[in-house]
Amino acid sequence: MATTPMNRLIQHLRRSVLHDGAGRTDGQLLDSFVHHKDDAALTALVRRHGPMVWGVCCRLLRSHQDAEDAFQATFLVLVQKAATLPDKEMVGNWLYGVAHQTAVRMRAIAAKRGVRERQVAVMPEPTSAGQYVWNDLQPVLDEELSRLPDKYRVLIVLCDLEDKTRKEVAQQLAIPEGTVASRLATARTMLAKRLARRGVVVSGGLLGAVLSQQSAWASVPTTVTTCTIKAATMLAAGHAAAGAVSPTVTALTMGVTKAMFMTKIKGVLAAVLIAAIVGGTGLIYTTAAAQGDKKPTAEKPVEPAAKREKEKEKETFTAWGKQVGLLQAGLGYLPGERRAYHHGETVTLVVRVRNVGKAEVKFQYLKEFFAENRPIVTNADGKEFPEGKILFLPTEHVPEEVSLGPGKEIELSSEQYQLMPANERGKGHSGRFLLLWTGTGKGSVQYNRLFGNTSAGRIKIDPDLLDLTTGKLELEIKPAPPPATEKK
């Protein structure tokens, strides 16, 4: 058949699709590489996850050369471990862990070397609140993110660091899209709490926006990608990568691979030891019984009332509002955070909606609405401190689609606030805050609306749902603890 310009264009597009791995999942690309030595599949994995890996390396390493070495070593470890990955559809999450471990090891090597080299990139002067947040966030982000359970970390890696849609992530993880949304909100809240302990106060909603914005800016230098693909292909083919990688990359790859092997061995030994202890204990009791040693049967201990009450406090608490249509909205605390607070402390408020009817309900909402609008605070005397508008980032707001079945519940928002007396407003407080009554006592917090136009987006909403409000969540402020006195 004659080769026409159209045929050449179709062939070029087909090669491009195969080269980039479009239409193929991580698991399919990994299988193709492992079983068929498909270099194009390996190349697609490097290009697909390269920006995320490069971002980790750049955040943890100051030197461009060190970041490049850690980047190459991460994908060389993938080549060596590809056949034994526990979950082939979770390559991105696995690569994040390897990249973090590799960059930390590279940083230790650089510290011993003691040589200062040029930075990976010169950060521009902050031009928005988001950039200020990122400057505080960058040094501790990966340290705390790496400590999250895989179940939650994978959502932040896929949605925020790799900028995938919730629908794409739901298909990749084979879970409902609603589960992705609620679990992602929980993951951001958990990470925000960890960051707050390190002095970086940021809400879950703003955290996701900043991470997504930074991931959009991430771009791997072409030379770094090309050299990495060349080295990985040579290693996969069983050829020595001399000349393609530096001795530092070789040593780094071997060190990380060995550390992963030792971690696996320790896990196996721990399991064997536990089994041996349990088996040995059973053998001892069996032998004693065979010898006729009669021991009194241990009665099941009665759980103290104080312990039961303490466990009850750890449960999720939500103040539900009036039913509107088939829906009911609530405002609550995270598990274990229902307590009295001091001024200056940080509290996380969670907005939930549940379907109390017998039919499915569909609606839209803007998650940024809660990041930009504070709830109403009312003290014991009935004085209100109205909600205020908080604008952090000029980002485009996209409505979230919700399909809520009968008896189902969804988390719409999880925001952190610093508790601040109203008379101290504007006295150097930073971050998001709630204006409270001066002094101590009990009051309440409530969202009197859940839907509305924000600074950069509109949604179509059933007029009846405009009356949907949360319940009044009780909030107690207790006296500040006395200052610690120096012991003589």
Residues 52-73, mean pLDDT to the nearest whole number: 92
Q: Would 271 be classed as within a structural domain? A: no
Q: What is the CA radius of gyration of the chain?
A: 27
- Within a domain: residue 277? no
- Together in a domain, 230 and 350: no
Question: Which residue has better confidence, 243 or 449?
Answer: 449
- Look up the domain containing 57 and give its range: 13-263
Tokens 């080295």 belong to 231
Question: Which pLDDT belongs to residue 365?
Answer: 85
1 compared with 84, residue with greater pLDDT: 84
Same domain (yes/no): 331, 259: no
Q: Do both 109 and 241 map to the same domain?
A: yes
The reply to whether 405 falls in a domain is yes
Angle of the 247-290 helix axis to the 64-81 helix axis, nearest 10: 50
In the structure, what pLDDT confidence band is assigned to residue 198 with cuts at 50, 70 and 90?
A: confident
Whole-number pLDDT of residue 3: 44
Q: Are residues 120 and 218 in the same domain?
A: yes
pTM of the full structure: 0.52
DSSP H stretches of helix in 198-246: 204-217, 222-236
90-to-45, 62, 155, 350, 407 alpha-carbon distances in Å: 12, 28, 11, 29, 31
Residue 306 domain-assigned (yes or no): no
Give the pair of three-digit tokens for residue 264.
Answer: 């696996």
Would you state the pLDDT for residue 470? 92
164 backbone φψ class: left, alpha, beta (φ>0; ψ -120 to 50) = beta
**Highest mean pLDDT (candidates 126-130, 222-226, 234-238, 387-391):** 222-226
Q: How confident is the model at residue 229, as a pLDDT? A: 93
φ, ψ of residue 137 to 5 degrees: the values are -80, -40
Q: Return the pLDDT at 407.
A: 87
The DSSP H or E segment spanning 408 is none
Angle subtended at Cα 208 by Cα 203 and Cα 211, rounded to the nearest 5 degrees: 120
